[in-house]
Amino acid sequence: MEAAGKRVCVTGAGGFIASWLVKLLLSRGHYAVRGTVRDPGASKNAHLKALEGARERLQLVKADLLDYNSVVSAVASCEGVFHVASPVPSGRSSNPEVDVIDPAVTGTSNVLKACYEAKVRRVVVVSSAVAVFSNPNWPKGKPFDEECWSDEEYCRKNEIILQNWYYLSKTLAEREAFAYVAKTGLDVVTICPSLVFGPLMQPTINTSSKVLLNYIKGDRDAIENRIRNIVDVRDVADALLLAYEKSEASGRYICSSPPIKVSDIINILKNLYPTYPYPKNFVEVEENSVFSFEKLQKLGWTFRPIEETLRDSVKSYKAFGFLN
Ligand X SMILES: NC(=O)c1ccc[n+]([C@@H]2O[C@H](COP(=O)([O-])OP(=O)(O)OC[C@H]3O[C@@H](n4cnc5c(N)ncnc54)[C@H](OP(=O)(O)O)[C@@H]3O)[C@@H](O)[C@H]2O)c1
Catalytic residue annotation = 170
Q: Is 103 in the site for ligand X (CB under 6 A)?
A: yes
Q: Which stretch binds ligand X (CB under 6 A): 14-22, 245-253, 264-272, 307-315?
A: 14-22
Q: Is the distance from CB of 72 to CB of 46 less than 8 angstroms?
A: no
Which is nearer to ligand X, 84 or 314 (by Cβ)?
Answer: 84
Q: Is 242 in the site for ligand X (CB under 6 A)?
A: no
Q: Is 206 in the site for ligand X (CB under 6 A)?
A: yes
Which is nearer to ligand X, 104 or 324 (by Cβ)?
Answer: 104
Selected from 53, 80, 87, 96, the binder of ligand X by CB under 6 A is: 87
Selected from 2, 5, 28, 38, the binder of ligand X by CB under 6 A is: 38
Taking CB atoms, the residue at the shortest distance from ligand X is 15
| Site pattern 46..85 for ligand X (x: CB under 6 A) | ------------------xxx-----------------xx
Q: Which stretch binds ligand X (CB under 6 A): 16-24, 54-62, 111-119, 315-323?
A: 16-24
Q: How many residues bind ligand X (CB under 6 A)?
A: 26
Rounded Cα distance, 208 and 90, in Å: 8
| Site pattern 159..198 for ligand X (x: CB under 6 A) | -----------x----------------------x-xx--
Give, as ranges, the residues between 118 and 137 that touch ligand X (CB under 6 A): 126, 128
For the chain, the three-class secondary structure string (H helix, E strand, C coil) is CCCCCEEEEECCCCCHHHHHHHHHHHHHCCEEEEEEECCCCCHHHHHHHCCCCHHHHEEEEECCCCCHHHHHHHHCCCCEEEECCCCCCCCCCCCHHHHHHHHHHHHHHHHHHHHHHCCCCEEEEECCHHHCCCCCCCCCCCCECCCCCCCHHHHHHHHHHHCCCHHHHHHHHHHHHHHHHHHHCCCEEEEEECEEECCCCCCCCCHHHHHHHHHHHCCCCEEEECEECEEEHHHHHHHHHHHHHCCCCCEEEEECCCCEEHHHHHHHHHHHCCCCCCCCEEEECCCCCCECCHHHHHCCCCCCCHHHHHHHHHHHHHHCCCCC
In angstroms, what is the minimal distance from the CB of 240 to ligand X? 10
Q: Is 319 in the site for ligand X (CB under 6 A)?
A: no
Which is nearer to ligand X, 62 or 246 (by Cβ)?
Answer: 62
Contact positions toward ligand X, by CB under 6 A?
Answer: 12, 14-18, 37-38, 64-66, 84-88, 103, 107, 126, 128, 170, 193, 195-196, 206, 208
